[in-house]
Amino acid sequence: MSHIQGRVRYEAEKGRWFEASLPPEEQVAEFLMAFRFFYLEKEPTNFLKILSILGKHAAQAEGRKFLKTMKDKWHQALFGNAVGMKINNKQMTASLVMDLWFNAHYFHSDESKEIELEKLKKIFTQDFAKFMLLNALYESAKLIAVIYKGLYELCERRTC
């Protein structure tokens, strides 16, 4: 998928505004279709389910601690948890942003989620709100890659 970028800009005369560079919608949709298998709770490949299964079989405390850290990072993947953001005292998290976009726009048309997503778009812009989604997905995909690489190397050593 193409490069993404989000910017918060400020000028004394103009005030604050949000900008985003996004890939074409076709690329976004293609990425979301692949990502959904790791996100949707009913999928056997759901990332949190995989972490849970691995945790049950992790013999060392270090391994279980690492898996817990990965779970926490999954929930905090928005901006790599480098920026904290609250709207009306509600913490903006990767899970929340994904939930709104997936259930209001991409995979379902839940009315209450649509209302919340529209609020998010009004606070920022549509493009910046979508940048937030893509940023959360990119950060989450990095976590998936870490687990994949670790399992691959483990299987290579043990000839699974």
Task: Let me know if residue 75 belongs to a domain.
Answer: yes
| Domain of residue 93, residue span | 23-158
Task: Let me know if residue 68 belongs to a domain.
Answer: yes
Band (159; pLDDT cuts 50, 70, 90): low
- For position 69, what pLDDT does the model report? 95
Task: Let me know if residue 4 belongs to a domain.
Answer: no
Least confident of 41-50, 61-70, 90-99, 109-118: 90-99
Task: Let me know if residue 103 belongs to a domain.
Answer: yes
Task: Let me know if residue 14 belongs to a domain.
Answer: no
Band (1; pLDDT cuts 50, 70, 90): low
Task: Let me know if residue 16 belongs to a domain.
Answer: no
Task: Let me know if residue 136 belongs to a domain.
Answer: yes
- Which tens digits make up the pLDDT trace of 17-34? 999 999 999 999 999 999
What is the domain count for the chain? 1
Task: Say what angle helices 126-158 and 47-57 make with each other, to 10 degrees.
Answer: 30
Task: Let me know if residue 89 belongs to a domain.
Answer: yes
- Which tens digits make up the pLDDT trace of 67-84? 999 999 998 887 766 566
- For position 75, what pLDDT does the model report? 86
- Assess contact for 54 and 155: CB atoms under 8 A: no
